[in-house]
Amino acid sequence: EPSSCSEKHPAMADTKLIGFGNPLLDISAVVEQDVLDKWGAKLNDAILAEDKHKPMYAELAESHPVEYIAGGATQNSIRVAQWVMGKPGSTAFVGCVGKDQFGDKLEQAARGDGVNAAYMKHPETPTGTCAVLVKGGERSLVANLSAANCYEISHYETAEIQELVTAANIVYCAGFFLTVSPPTMIALGKHVAEKHKTFCLNLSAPFICQFFKDPLLSVMPYVDFLFGNESEAAEFGKAMGWGEELDVVALKAAAMPKESGSPPPPPPPMNTPVREGETIEGSRTAVRCGIDPIQTTLTLTRHLGPGALFTRARDVQTGLPGESEWRGSRLAQQRERCALHGGT
């Protein structure tokens, strides 16, 4: 039987932010184009490993200098958020690892950073790994989920995890977790909606929108903040039949039905100014556009509706790291500070 993490964090009640995702040991190397070609990997992309990729991890370690890093998209973001928040135990992370040395290293790294790592531990399946192939400042990810793919909602329902979820007021998940346990994400969403908390979701990779559209749409009604880069947003727009124009995708995503709060009114003309003293009800969509200005769609009160672009308040030029464009969203409680903080 899979088991839960044995140790309890001494300050569980201090948890403000909790992430659910796929804990992976990153195996990072700077590679040549022929390595990318050999494994069918593309820069600025992420894929799940197939049978043909299984020899890659050992070959990479033999042929290139590699660095082993405690990772996984959600866990990376939670560790950065913990660094930002400072107080140990302010964040928690939940996912599945194996009962092995790599799993122990992941747990030690997370707890060493002050994160309450509450892993489910699978007795038979090894801890997941992710090849990070770096070339020219860009990277390609090939994830072998292994134990991360074994997460079960029964672990979410344990008293330990329920205590963490109850304490937290922000939930963050990468879209990659949609490939593992949509029921857990829906349960999280229902809790967030009922308790009027905040649910943050990252699209994570184009293939999530292409091949996991149904699980994605099952979670979307609970999402307060949706994040992604330009290619992910374009793929989401294609999957939804909205086209690939980022402004349109942001507006359409913001107007999708939501379980908590009142339905958004129709969007105003794009040149509608934000009135002096206008209050913000809640952000629905953020689209990261590389080094281009962030496109942030806000749901505004007093009938402004969704679709007030970030540039109405301040146009911030920033290139945000791939897994951390969200990280200041509720911590800062200010949109300008959010964007600047995420780019550090």
Task: Report the alpha-carbon distance of residue 93 to residue 89 in Å, rounded.
Answer: 10
Q: What is the pLDDT of residues 131-185, one digit of tens each?
A: 999 999 899 999 999 999 999 999 999 999 999 999 999 999 999 999 999 999 9
Average pLDDT over residues 330-341: 40
pLDDT more than 70, % of the chain: 72
pLDDT more than 90, % of the chain: 56
Amino acid identity of residue 106, one-letter, is: L
Give the model's confidence band at 13: pLDDT under 50 very low, under 70 low, under 90 confident, else very high.
confident
Q: Which residues pair with 141 in a beta bridge?
A: 46, 132
More confident residue, 146 or 343: 146
CB of 181 within 8 A of CB of 86?
Answer: no
Average pLDDT over residues 20-31: 94
* Range with the poorest average pLDDT among 23-37, 113-127, 242-256, 288-302: 288-302
CA dihedral (114, 115, 120, 125) positive or negative: negative
Phi, psi angles (nearest 5°) of residue 250? -60, -45
238-246: long-range pairs with CB below 8 Å, 24+: 238/209, 239/209, 239/210, 239/213, 246/287, 246/289, 246/295
Task: Report the alpha-carbon distance of residue 328 to residue 149 in Å, rounded.
Answer: 28
Q: Name every residue whose Cβ is closer than 8 Å to that of residue 249 and which is 6 or more positions away in sequence.
A: 233, 234, 236, 237, 240, 242, 243, 287
* Range with the poorest average pLDDT among 29-33, 50-54, 144-148, 264-268: 264-268
Average pLDDT over residues 325-332: 39
Average pLDDT, whole number, for the chain? 79
Q: What is the pLDDT of residues 253-308, one digit of tens each?
A: 888 888 875 444 444 444 444 444 333 444 456 656 555 666 666 543 333 333 33
- Residue 7 pLDDT > 60: no
